[in-house]
Structure 1
Amino acid sequence: MSDPTTDTPRRSETKHRAILEAAARCVGRDGYAATSIEAVAAEAGVGKQTIYRWWPSKPALFVEVYSALVNRTLLSPDGAVAAAPPGRPVSDLLRRLFGLYRSTPAGSILAGLIGAAAEDAQTRAAVRDGLVLGRRSILLDRIREAAPAGADRSRMEHVNDLIVSMIWQRLIMAPEDLTDSFADELAQLVDTVGHAG
């Protein structure tokens, strides 16, 4: 029986990191749409076949780049971005996220992936599996932590989806408006929906 972990040659950790960093630099400089696998390969000093051996597509590569830039450690209360007042887990998480969007190309990558997903099934699958489903618990866990006692769990899942859609809309239409005050407004939805009967 085939072992999926050995079907692809083991990644060189140094090359792997170099490719992710090169991809982030390319998007930061040229934008998501204008960044090609060829450009990333040249920036990283590897052949494009190396990239395609490890990632089946540009969207798959950039889902991983996004996940590396916006990793769970940086979104934790001990992360590097200024926190909201104590006891505000949703606002704290969103403030950290928006700070990463301002200080890294993560926001540009996500906006590019969202735009490309509208027209490309491969990108849609990469975004769904790697970002929507793969990272859903990051925000949902904070929403459940902040929810009023006795709040309906299924409503909290709807709040999660509403907050994500509002962030994505603003990321595409007015990324400069992803501010701390917007993070606080979104966090208030948890109380509003949690108390709705």
Structure 2
Amino acid sequence: MGQTPDYVLDRPSVDDVDQFFAVDSDPRVWTHLPSGRLTDEEEAEAILVRLVSQWELDGIGPWMVRETPGGDILGHCGCSLRGVAGPGASRGTPGAFWNLGYRFRPEAQGRGLASAVSRDAIAAAGDVDPELPVVAYLLEVNTASAVVARKLGLELVHRAPDVGNPDPAAIRLVFADRELTADQLDATLA
């Protein structure tokens, strides 16, 4: 658990399910990808179980972001290991990378939280495995997310149609802190 005067970072817990669901089911959070919105609290609980497992297996994962200790969740943000074969798989897998993700309640957006907590997340990922790139992939219509990625120093390394998206006009952007291998780029698009 980390704390600064601006926010508190907690590891996820299944006890967070109601507030996590409130964030991830809010249509205002999903204007860029309405089909990504959670509609079932059981799905939110399953995601939280997976996030708890990520922390146990990988030593890192998204944090629940709060304003005060024990306060309401403002959102979640962090780096997760991606591009590996399964839970606990080796970070040495050719497609492995740190996926940086951030999602905040609309009332918490615009306060710099995504940028600040993402900096913490990138530093934490570097402490666990600095050999892996940090990647943020997003839809082009999510301009606020792209602004955060650029503020963090991530560079646009890929722009193409978002294969499999319900919106055939959707464009996927991939930002990274370094050049990606073909396997890493493929893993971000899977």
TM class by shorter-chain length?
0.3 to 0.5
TM (norm. structure 1) is: 0.33
Relative to total residues, which structure has the larger helix share, 1 or 2? 1
TM (norm. structure 2) is: 0.34
Instruction: Identify the structure with bigger relative contact order (alpha carbons < 8 Å, sequence gap 6+).
Output: 1
Relative to total residues, which structure has the larger strand share, 1 or 2? 2
